[in-house]
Amino acid sequence: MGARLRVFLTQEEERTLWELRRATTVSQRVKDRAEAVRLSHQGWYVEQIATHLHSTAKTIRKTLNAWKTKGLGGLWEASGRGRQRRWSEADIEYLEDCLRIDPRSYNSVQLAEKLCRERQVDQSPEYLRDFPQKKGVIWKRMRVSHQKRQDPHQRLAKKNDLEMLELAAAADEIDLLYLDESGCCLWSAVSYSYYFKGEQKRQEQTKKRGKRLSVLGLWQPLVKFICSLVLGSWKSEDFIKLMEQQAQVAGAIYQRTGRIRVITLDNGSIHTSKAVKQKLPQWQGMGLYLFFLPPYCSEMNPIELEWEHLKRDQLVAQMFESESELAYQVSVGLEARGERNGHKVEYVNLRGMK
């Protein structure tokens, strides 16, 4: 064995090293050095300490000598050790600004290229793939948005009006419904799924994409979901037929209770055509009013969440052979949503109505 090297500690120093050994804010290397000093005080040989801590005798001697000369401060490494980092905080702030401001998407390779081109900082994509997580940046899907086209003042005013309508509906002073259209096709979008490591789950496409199945929905929460299915697009005439039917229902309720019916909808072309505008006074006289959301603010319509759940929970990752099979699965999904939300589902054939 080598020359005997041993340190002696006071009770206070030994207690400090014991607490440091169990601290959660220091590195494991500092904890091991503190333990090496304690074991030396207890009479362990340098070689025994090295074996116990999976280190070398040279490293243990260096640690003990640092304790003798510097005391507790000798357990920490001097500043400036290790490879100097290639980037500065300003470089990371630049990347954060790019992620927030630029409308495009970025992956780790593109961020590395941009950092090299714009800031002359050579950093690997692998490092940039892990480092943003420390800054609260994660890899996530982008969304299509129309927020820049929205009028904030008009949106705020309409939001306040909608909240007043919802309060009136909660007090049973009016009937508040939400109307919107959505569409599906035979091919579902690729989605995430649990599967086994090393294996790839695939969605086999059917022979044809098929025609678009359009769904028109009129939703009164906790009461009823009226829907109609058609291949292709909806026309203004179809919308007028549905509103004529609702006007008859609203007229009967208004005569019996004095309660009006309000339908919330967006500014789609079939909702704002000349034929519809000519019908508005007649419908209002029967107790039916249309509340139009501001342009490019369809997210304010709660029925949008029903379409999202229908596609994400009921139709996700499915490929259909025919439009009839797709229509059946849409109906099954709507029924499932009805059971979950406590409303009835009613189907109407607008193309068959006169």
> Is there a single domain that holds both residue 111 and residue 167?
no
The residues, ordered by sequence, that sit 6+ positions from 140 with a Cβ below 8 Å of its Cβ are none
Assign residue 210 a region: left if phi > 0, alpha if psi is -120 to 50, beta otherwise? left
**How many helices (H) and strands (E) would you count in the chain?**
12, 6
> Is there a single domain that holds both residue 64 and residue 167?
no
280 has pLDDT over 90: yes
Sheet arrangement for strand 344-347: 288-292, 261-265, 175-184, 213-220, 224-231, 344-347
User: pTM score, two decimals?
Assistant: 0.66
Query: Residue 89 — pLDDT band, cuts 50, 70, 90?
Result: confident
Average pLDDT score over residue span 69-90 = 74
The residues, ordered by sequence, that sit 6+ positions from 99 with a Cβ below 8 Å of its Cβ are 106, 137
168 has pLDDT over 60: yes
Q: How are beta strands 288-292 and 261-265 bridged, if at all? A: parallel
> Is there a single domain that holds both residue 295 and residue 178?
yes
pLDDT for 1: 47
Token look-up 């000349």 returns: 274
Q: Which helix (H) or strand (E) holds 184?
A: strand 175-184
Average pLDDT score over residue span 185-210 = 78
> pLDDT digit string (tens) for 125-145?
887 777 666 677 777 777 777
Residue 340: inside a domain, yes or no? yes
Give the CATH number for residue 43. Answer: 1.10.10
> Is there a single domain that holds both residue 328 and residue 220?
yes
Give the CATH number for residue 231. Answer: 3.30.420.10
> Is there a single domain that holds both residue 330 and residue 232?
yes
pLDDT for 68: 87
> Is there a single domain that holds both residue 158 and residue 129?
no
Number of domains in the chain: 3
> Is there a single domain that holds both residue 343 and residue 313?
yes
- The residue segments making up the domain with residue 129 are 89-135
Most confident of 13-22, 123-132, 329-338: 329-338
3-class state of residue 227 by DSSP: strand
